[in-house]
Amino acid sequence: MKKFVCTALAVCMALSLAACGGSGSGSSAAGGSSAATGSSAAASTGEGGSIKVGLLANTSDANANYGNAVKNGAMLYINEVNAAGGVNGKQIEVVAYDDKGEATEAVTAFNRLLDDGVTAVIGSVLTGTTIAVADESYAVGMPQITASATAPGVTLLDPEDESSGIRENVFRACFIDPFQGEKMAEYAFEKMGVKTAAVIFETGNDYSEGLKNAFVEKCQELGVTVTNEEAYSTGDVDFKAQMTNIAKSAPDVVFSPNYYEDDGKIVTQARQAGYEGTFLGGDGWSGVGPYASAEDLEGTVYCSAYAGDETFESAYEAAYGEKVPNMFAPLGYDAAKLMLAALGAAEDQGLEAGSDEYKAAVIDALKATDGVEGVTGSYKFDEFNNPIKSAAMMQLQNGEEVFTEMF
């Protein structure tokens, strides 16, 4: 099998192309937010031609901190590969759309990608949009990998029944929700000696409810008493009533399996309500620093897929002029790496990019992944197309998100 290798010179070339998120002659749609109507800059194809890949991310909504990080991470890797000669001599041409974090927008964007003739899709970013796209991609056999959508329903046909089968074409680079919820309950019990816990979660949010359910179930199994299960609705900014109830119960910890902006508000209002205990969370806490004071966040623990990588972080900062904002950037990088490795396997078979046979070969190659080294770990997929990896435990210390241990 022919391989694509990113030499140091090639990486330097790629970084110069990707600087400040601009598009270069070796890539398209590198960084930044594309318009809802999408963006597609033709790659410099040379004699080898190109392979067209779709990229869906929420780059303009309230959770754009996730979407832009995933997009930048993915484009960083794609730019590196293109600068090094591409995948088996072919450049990767990216067609990017902003799905605005909305399921209907995501489906519309996916249908546009079909019209654009892509042969694989990286995305979406949020759980709800990814599931919406997964329904569509499964129907047409489109290879799809998400960097960050964590609900079991992304790959399972029926998230309540593992025997229902999976969407064979859909993969992820991140942990699933039950894994995170169970992991945090185990950590609280085994490492912190917790005996009581409360939960605050967003109703109707697959991510939040998935982590909450797994955490509560594992707590019950471990003998940890769950004192409160407080709910809130999407868009709420006032959590005083919920946090007052929790403060009265005075649990050892509060598990808040939500996204960083809500988590910041929740912590702030919890302290105002008199709760002094420790907060726990899932990977949605990544990047929470600007949304609450360092004092209020101190000691918070959440699980992450990323423990830090100096080489990646240097490359990212050189490309985009900023530090890695959260773990979603390295997950985007790894998702792109996994997909391009699978594209290379299809290319080795001499198949026509975009054909049904080519797409099937990409799916088969993703399924057979074993030992692809990413910046968040070494990849192999289980029977549900979920990665088998350890979790990095992160703690807020003096306003900084600090890696403490693998657990």
- Concatenated DSSP letters for 32-74? S---TT-EEPPP--TTT-EEEEEEEE--SSTTHHHHHHHHHHH
Q: What's the DSSP call for residue 147?
A: S
**Poorest-confidence range of 26-30, 47-51, 64-68?**
26-30
Q: Is the pTM of this model over 0.85?
A: no
What homologous superfamily is domain 8-174+307-380 in, according to CATH? Response regulator (3.40.50.2300)
The CATH architecture of the domain made up of 177-304 is: 3-Layer(aba) Sandwich (3.40)
CA distance 365 to 345: 6
Query: Could you give the C-alpha distances from 223 to 169, 219, 220, 226, 274, in angstroms and in order?
Result: 39, 6, 5, 9, 26
**Poorest-confidence range of 98-102, 307-311, 343-347?**
307-311
| Mean pLDDT, residues 329-346 taken together | 98
pLDDT tens sequence across 259-296:
999 999 999 999 999 999 999 999 999 999 999 999 99
For the chain, the structural domain boundaries read: 8-174+307-380, 177-304
pLDDT band at 406 (very low <50, low <70, confident <90, very high): confident
- Concatenated DSSP letters for 170-202? EEESS--HHHHHHHHHHHHHHHH---EEEEEEE
How many Cβ atoms from other residues are within 10 Å of residue 116's Cβ? 14
> Quick check: do 8-174+307-380 and 177-304 share a fold?
yes
**Strands 253-255 vs 278-281: parallel, antiparallel or unpaired:** parallel
pLDDT tens sequence across 256-265:
999 999 999 9
Query: Cα–Cα–Cα angle for 92, 67, 71, nearest 5°?
Result: 20
Structure tokens at 122: 């990286």
Q: Does 218 have pLDDT greater than 50?
A: yes
Query: Cα–Cα–Cα angle for 105, 203, 101, nearest 5°?
Result: 20
